[in-house]
Structure 1
């Protein structure tokens, strides 16, 4: 049976009109602090829950960090303080979905049932009826996951309980990359601006140093939820990043009585497989390919077989894969038939788990490369070879002229993205095998970008990246790459 928890704060904390709300959230997200697109998404965020006019920009800064994982996250656990009534423990609602003017967000009932097994968790619908602290986060979630209606929430309200009880709930729902923890909390309340700034800066320091036991209700209304997260994050040796810190005086102009707001992101200690420094990337990625490269190629071949049967890429089962392959990564998958290119599609930035990126790009290389006909079952022989290239974060590649550009190239190592306006061309380092002369490399790269081969302009820009890769012919015996294997979905 479907039970909808209707919107309680539409028209007060945020616009009641769907089109106005949609535009408001889109504008807040567009103005949010930019985060490097390759940057791994956090495992948890702390965001405020005041009206959008007061804290919407701060909340957007928090939610902007999860954009690299929009295809990975399937569940958001939202934990915040109960403002409307006091009770013992932690409360879940009867609802199977929560509603805003943008539609409904389904509740993960299996997750709810799992925490109801804990003595500190109870069903208490009355606590949720008028509560704003969880609902205010929903329009951001609906905006980010607008094309993924299967994404679910686990809404939890905290009242009278011990920190270790929150910690137990956080641990129970922690999950893997598919789960994001969202802690909803404002900071200090109703002090003058100078006092609030001092208090909120102390709270920032406590959070950045995981000093959970020193946080109190004067510091944050959601201190219990924050403390629970900090205790778990500290045990897991996580990293935390302060994203934003300000108070209501910025919006209201009133410095005599303010409320503080902050946003933080918590990252696994070894989240990113693509370090910013090139040597770190090459060493880490080569290590991953040495251990899991054959498995990635197998996963790619299964995705192509799955595509032949289902006309869709394989969805990698994150629960059965090594952790390294669940971290964000960007790759290209290249297919060659009898030594000739047969398909090559990839990602420039890391925005989903490496394993899923391989599945998606293998499917696209086989069936969606517009230069070639679709792969057929008859093509799945030893004559069809495959390689996977994992990309580093593209870095600016400065130059003063075409001659300078050519002179700066490092053959057989550089991957280059050349852009001019909306035209862009990318060559993987493997292209040097066919075009070893830097001048020829540059001329063909311009053609790849849709530009004349003799074109040059001071509006041209370039980025450089490196790759580490693996080829099927080096790790698979004849007749084994395309052999059918059972796979988990």
Structure 2
């Protein structure tokens, strides 16, 4: 008996349960558990960082993971789970399990019907999966359906798999599943997509909604052709710039890769997201992992489909400290060093201080000691595993007594040194050196077990060009050679720099 319309409620039942993913609840849970476990080994956490010393490649290695919080958006594949399940799980793993969203907006291409515009599901009150019902944010859908680009196309949803396959991942991951807003795009017309983006952008900027963009990548080239096309597209998406994405699509077409039918079936959905975030440098796109169906035991190498996962984060506003906060940290740093000579505990340097919420927050810092015009010691630490005030106290003592390039600081030198502190913003992975701004950004270069960093102010101190800045850091700090940065992972950060002088 079909009671989906009982009491005025209509429910969309699964179209691809039993084909794209298991229809049995317990079997589905076991399969998802295996994908999430596999995802843990598929991508190295992008925030892992090592303690680093300004001017030296011999820093003590201390690894920590900086928690970024919930992403703003994810780009995930929508193939059968045996092909793309682990890639999708890598993206969904970026969501904290206790994350609380007002809603999740799912956007994907239409595979079943053709139409001009966008369709939002105004017919149903909920979507059913083997894990139970997922409610639709009916009030939000009602308001959205009044906007010009959104069409009443109830035929777009019943057989569409692109959004449906995302729901079990979300239900399994989140402790509390919010309501959803399913959107299907039937066009790649930029003018239409731009209006769709304009309608959704205010919701994105509120920061209370997760956007899930559903797209597979290359369709039907051979294994090597897919990798070439997909990684070109992934590099473009990682820039966050829509024109780079469009250029990559055109470059793939121009390359005439045999068998390539499309570079991304959900290119319109990706374009909507990039249009919403475009021009705002606070959004960062992180390419998490890539595979294609040829990597699955169920696929072949002659005709494949590509799968990439991305997480999009919005960084906080430009980091700053008040004059009082800076003075407090300088007092802590000097007291920490003086306390070592007096046999006092490290905590004596900050106990009783007026510590603002910002100083109590986790953050990385470098402490530099200068004697006249010469460096006397500098040690720092990336990560957010200690409050800033504690980090400064620890790094001040380390710079004075643990920097192996110098002898330990003598008490007689206390009056001759000046202290400079650099409080660091979170690390941001960049796709190329084009995103690095000399004089504004610090650079952190990582390849394998080698890493090194230069603080932003090194550019002013040396007068180096960007090429020289990167080359010196790569060779002198990371031990990768002058051009090693070109094949390494690059991260930027900014610093609030202040001193006693």
Question: What TM-score do the two structures reach when normalised by structure 2?
Answer: 0.54
- 1:237-289 Cα offsets, whole Å, 9 max, x none, are 33211111110011135101100111112222xx157xxxxxxxxx9474599
Counterpart check, 1:26 vs 2:33? yes
User: Given the alignment, which residue of 296, 300, 310 partners 1:254?
Assistant: 300
Q: What is aligned with 1:218?
A: 262
Q: Residue 14 of structure 2 contacts residue 129 of structure 2 at CA under 8 Å; is this kept in 1? A: yes
- Of 167, 179, 186, which residue of structure 1 is paired with 2:194? 167
- Displacement of 1:3 in angstroms is 1.7
Residues 114 and 253 of structure 1: CA distance in aligned 2, closer, same or farther (over 3 Å): same
- The count of aligned residue pairs is 306
Q: Is the 8 A contact 1:285 1:390 kept in 2?
A: no
Q: What does residue 242 of structure 1 align with?
A: 287
Deviation at 1:227, TM superposition (A): 1.4
Deviation at 1:90, TM superposition (A): 1.1
- 1:63 has 2:92 as partner: yes
Report the equivalent of 1:190.
220
**Conserved in 2, the CA contact under 8 Å of 1:192 and 1:256?**
yes
User: For the Cα contact (< 8 Å) 1:111–1:173, is it kept in 2?
Assistant: no
- List alignment gaps of at least 5 residues for structure 1: 274-282, 291-384, 396-409, 418-425, 434-465, 468-489
- The answer to whether the Cα contact below 8 Å between 2:118 and 2:196 also exists between their aligned partners in 1 is no
User: 1:88–1:20: structure 2 CA closer, same or farther, 3 Å change rule?
Assistant: same
Map residues 29-44 of structure 1 onto 2, 5 A cutoff. 29-32=36-39, 33=43, 35=45, 36=47, 38-44=67-73
Whether the 8 Å CA contact 1:115–1:121 is kept in 2: the answer is yes
Partner of 2:10: 3
Is the aligned partner of 1:205 residue 2:235?
Answer: yes
Corresponding residue SS for 1:183: strand
- What corresponds to 1:54 in structure 2? 83
Q: Distance in 1 between matches of 2:198 and 2:143?
A: 12
1:107 aligns with 2:136: yes
Q: 1:159 to 1:427 in 2, by over 3 A?
A: closer
Q: CA–CA distance in 2 between the matches of 1:289 and 1:186?
A: 51
Q: Which runs of 4+ in 1 moved over 6 A?
A: 426-430
- For the residue of structure 2 that corresponds to 1:16, the secondary structure is coil
* Closer, same or farther: CA 168–117 of 1 in aligned 2, 3 Å: same
SS at match of 1:245: strand
User: How many Å apart are 1:212 and its aligned residue?
Assistant: 3.5
Alpha-carbon contact 2:35-2:85 (below 8 Å) kept: yes
User: Could you tell me how far 1:89 is from its partner in structure 2?
Assistant: 1.2
1:89 pairs with 2:117: yes
Q: Aligned with 2:90: secondary structure?
A: helix
Distance 1:259 1:114, change over 3 A: same
Q: Distance in 2 between matches of 1:102 and 1:66?
A: 19
Do the aligned partners of 2:78 and 2:163 also contact (CA within 8 Å) in 1? yes
- Which residue does 1:232 correspond to in 2? 276
Instruction: Output the CA distance in 2 between the equivalents of 1:129 and 1:10.
Output: 13
Report if the CA contact (8 A) 1:58-1:244 is conserved: yes
Give me the whole-angstrom Cα distance separating, in 1, the residues matched to 2:360 and 2:151: 46
After TM superposition, give the deviation of residue 106 of structure 1 in Å.
1.0
